[in-house]
Amino acid sequence: MSFIGKAKRSVDSTVDAYLGRAAFAISILCAIGFALAGTWLVLVDLYGTTVTCFVLAGILVLLSLIINLTIVASERSAERDIKDVEKSIEDSGLVAASSLPFELSTVVTVLPIVLPLLKSLRAFLPLLIVAGLVAGYFLTTEKAGDKQEPVAVPQ
């Protein structure tokens, strides 16, 4: 199987996994909705409508703060992992990370969107690759030229 075939299969598997997660999330959200409705009815019978509104609002705010903290921790972990991968690529000498005109996280984000488009642009793919390489070359040479400092000539 070719590289593109493996990448397409990987993207298909990733999309299937995300669709499965979305279906799971929808069923969990429906269950949470029914649980909240039941909790609402019990609390209204026990304490009244006003107290129930504030209690449920407080519980939901606390729950959202906990979820937000886990998301932030996951994002920080992912950023550290990406930096470790970029550093290992740079240390191995395969491709210098500073010479790439894009970041690895950008590639991981955009790749599932771009791969299906490549199928429809198959005839133009060689031209697009050459144009991308030329653009990348000029972008990296401009950055290298910007870093040079003028040398003072003694008089």
| pLDDT score at 149 | 55
Instruction: Let me know if residue 53 belongs to a domain.
Output: yes
Instruction: Let me know if residue 151 belongs to a domain.
Output: no
Max intra-chain CA distance, the chain:
93
Q: Which domain holds residue 6?
A: 1-45
Residue 5 tokens, joined? 């075939």
Q: Are residues 52 and 92 in the same domain?
A: yes
Q: Are residues 58 and 87 in the same domain?
A: yes
Could you give the CA distance from residue 146 to residue 152 in angstroms, rounded to a whole number?
A: 17
With CA atoms as reference, report the closest residue to 114 among 96, 100, 102. 102
Instruction: Let me know if residue 149 belongs to a domain.
Output: no
Instruction: Let me know if residue 2 belongs to a domain.
Output: yes
Q: Are residues 52 and 41 in the same domain?
A: no
Q: 3-class DSSP state for residue 150?
A: coil
Q: Are residues 57 and 82 in the same domain?
A: yes
Instruction: Let me know if residue 154 belongs to a domain.
Output: no
| pLDDT score at 21 | 87
Instruction: Let me know if residue 153 belongs to a domain.
Output: no
With CA atoms as reference, report the closest residue to 41 among 26, 29, 27, 56. 56
Distance of CA 32 to the CA centre of its chain: 27
Question: Rounded to the nearest 5 degrees, what angle is found at the Cα of 134, between the Cα atoms of 132 and 140?
Answer: 100
Sequence-ordered strand ranges (E) for the chain: none
With CA atoms as reference, report the closest residue to 105 among 127, 86, 124, 123. 86
Instruction: Let me know if residue 20 belongs to a domain.
Output: yes
- Would you say 27 and 127 are in contact if contact means Cβ atoms under 8 Å apart? no
Q: Taking the complete model, does pTM exceed 0.75, yes or no?
A: no
Side chain identity at 100, as an amino acid letter? L
Q: Are residues 41 and 65 in the same domain?
A: no
Q: Are residues 105 and 122 in the same domain?
A: yes
Q: Are residues 119 and 133 in the same domain?
A: yes
Q: Are residues 71 and 34 in the same domain?
A: no
Could you give the CA distance from residue 100 to residue 123 in angstroms, rounded to a whole number?
A: 26
Q: Are residues 39 and 53 in the same domain?
A: no
Can you give the pLDDT of all 155 residues of the chain as single tens digits? 666 777 777 777 888 888 888 899 999 999 989 999 999 999 999 999 999 999 889 988 998 999 889 988 888 888 888 888 778 777 776 655 455 556 666 767 777 777 777 677 777 777 878 888 888 888 776 554 555 555 555 65
Could you give the CA distance from residue 8 to residue 115 in angstroms, rounded to a whole number?
A: 7
**Domain tally, the chain:** 3
Q: Are residues 87 and 124 in the same domain?
A: no
| pLDDT score at 97 | 46
Q: Are residues 33 and 3 in the same domain?
A: yes
Could you give the CA distance from residue 135 to residue 141 in angstroms, rounded to a whole number?
A: 10
| pLDDT score at 38 | 93
Instruction: Let me know if residue 150 belongs to a domain.
Output: no
